[in-house]
A and B are shown apart, each in its own frame.
Chain A
Amino acid sequence: MSDRLIDRGTFLRKFTFNRRQRALFVAMSMVLFLTGMVAGGVFLGPENLAVNLDNRNRPPALEHLFGTDWLGRDMFVRTLKGLTTSFGVGVAASLLSTLIALGLSLLTSWHRMIDQVITWLIDLFLSVPHIVILILISFALGGGFKGVVIGLAFTHWPSLTRLLRAEVLQTQSAEYVRISQQLGKSRLWIARHHFLPQLISQMLVGFILLFPHVILHEAALSFLGFGLSPEEPAIGIILSESMGYLSTGMWWLAFFPGLSLLLMVVAFNLLGRNVRRLLDPYQDHQ
């Protein structure tokens, strides 16, 4: 009897995973999934987007998984291309945002006044609706890829800066930082050797978790007409064009592209959460 219980225990242990392994598994599959999405968009050539008037307005079928639009273009290819654009915007804007957040949070350790100014700036940027600042910035820069990326980068740093700043403040009071200061190490040296290693994991997680916000805002901005120009393949453009065709019952024009965007965002969210679980198991439990 007891033998069988033990057997069952070892059996289960062999075939179940602990939290860490599960997190690793989910993170890896999300990376694979996202790579597949982006690779699909990159490697599908423009010949797949050819206008084919014989094949107009087809509902989804095996041949055209997401249907075709009013020019006979395959919606699946258009969606993949759009997601690749989203990904590109996401990488650029998240990277810039993270760098801004890192720079500002390291600056807070310089002087209390600077810290107060930066805290005030964070509050300032959080107290105007994102979409309104984005409209203003793209109004100033005239939209397009560059305008969108700069706009997104300048609106998404505050929350991450807040996190990193708290970490810097905490580290600043540590003994070894005091000792380094007493030893006459420069501020840059301390930032590089004491603060940066503390910030790396939060920065990586923050960087990944910025993607969902950035991608959704880019789509919204393009949808409103402030973002990418209509020639560029983007989910926001596809969705805003579909508005004109929804009343004729062509639901697939909006349904699948939006769903794919949702899946991409979910994948990034899951990736970020699980990377955090791996890098910082203690923080995750709080």
Chain B
Amino acid sequence: MRMQSISLWIVKHVFKLILLLLAVSLLSFALISYSPIDPVQAYVGADMTRVSPEQRANIAEYWGLNESKTEQFLAWGKSFLRGEWGTSLIYRTPVADVIAERFQSSLALMGVSWLLAGVIGFWLGIVAGMRQGTWLDKMIQAYCFMLASTPAFWLGLLLLTLFSVWLGWFPVGLSTPAGMNAENVTLVERLRHLFLPALTLSIVGVANVALHTRQKLVEILDSEFIRFAKAKGEHGLRLLWRHGLRNVSLPAVSLHFASFGEIFGGAVLAEQVFSYPGLGQAVVQAGLGGDVPLLLGIVLLSTLFVFIGNMLADLLYKVIDPRMRKGENG
């Protein structure tokens, strides 16, 4: 019975994912074909004056630009499925390589800040919830409220001014020092470049988890079983550890997994501010430079990324919470 429901769950999600990717690629393709940017011009770049109209027509013919949009989409889809994602126009290397390389840097950035934001946010939420109504709780709430209204990239600019320009503790940009091969860069050097963007993202990411955790904890502390536990003489950390934490942690972790989209969006901005060579910077350059293959690749990858986050959030509920497990068969 158990195995069956798990396989059913997997099949359902794979189906959902395929449908989602199909819809997203269709939508992106439609949007891109509306773009006023001429792909041939974007490809040739500044040499446009030296290209004769015949050569232009040849390129258009070679790329199949004269065929109908539907045929273009089908052709693109076929080669995409075969793993040929095309060549990036600005980096002049296969899109898959660009994405793979950039995604690694981004993953390091997003992973670190995701973990930090989660841990700090959870802790803040617990503190606020346990001290509900005190000035500490109000401070934490006000702090989170302000954070939710803060433009992430502005915070990044402030941190950059403070730490890199005034204090000179951190480099101003790039994840590797200029004039050095990527292999020779030490781990310490990498961490130094990672620190500020990660700090920005974690400061901003704290708000949601903290407020959610606080809300849940307040609800739980108000319940019958807590009153009973208190009547037995339990209080403080012991009470939290035995009765509060279990109930609070699952929704918090699940919510945090569902925030992959936000952290991706935040990474795009943070990478731009700190000129950190990740996926976010690549998508900005692809958009500004009319690099359609790269843009499409990153759009699909980010969709997959967010989908995985949401799926994990869903899965956590299913696997960990015994009540959900039982309800699954019904």
Contact = CB atoms under 8 A, between A and B. Distances in A.
Interface of A: 123-124, 126-132, 135-142, 212, 216, 219-220, 223-226, 239, 242-243, 246-247, 249, 251, 254-255, 258, 261-262, 265-266, 269
Given A225-B284, A243-B157, A139 B151 contact: no
Given A136-B31, A212-B149, A126 B157 contact: no
B154 A239 contact: yes
B12 to A, nearest CB: 13
A223 B153 contact: yes
Interface of B: 20, 23-24, 28, 31-32, 34-37, 145-146, 148-154, 157-158, 160-161, 164-166, 172, 261-262, 264-265, 268-269, 272-273, 283-284, 287-288, 290, 295, 298-299, 302-303, 306-307, 310
Nearest to A263: B149
B154 A243 contact: no
Contacts of B151: 216, 219-220, 239, 258, 261-262, 265
- Overall SS of chain A's interface: helix
Contacts of B164: 247
A129 B145 contact: no
A256 to B, nearest CB: 11
B155 to A, nearest CB: 8
A223 B273 CA distance: 9
B302 A220 contact: no
Contact of B146 (A138, A220, A262): A262
Nearest to B160: A246
Given A246-B160, A247-B172, A254-B161, A224 B302 contact: no
The 4 closest A-B pairs by CB, nearest first: A258-B154, A140-B31, A265-B149, A131-B265
A223 B172 contact: no
Contacts of A142: 35-37
Contact of B302 (A129, A251, A261): A129
Contact of A139 (B35, B158, B160, B306): B35
Contacts of A139: 31-32, 35, 37, 287, 290, 295
A127 B261 contact: yes
B19 to A, nearest CB: 8
Nearest to A130: B265
A239 B150 CA distance: 14
B149 A141 contact: no
Contact of B154 (A249, A261, A266, A269): A261
Nearest to A267: B149
Given A136-B299, A266-B146, A128 B154 contact: no
Contacts of A219: 151, 153
Contact of B264 (A123, A132, A265): A132
A124 B35 contact: no
17 contacts: A127-B20, A132-B283, A132-B298, A136-B32, A142-B36, A220-B152, A223-B272, A225-B288, A226-B284, A239-B151, A243-B273, A247-B172, A249-B166, A254-B154, A261-B154, A265-B149, A265-B151
Contacts of A265: 149-151
B261 A247 contact: no
Nearest to A246: B161
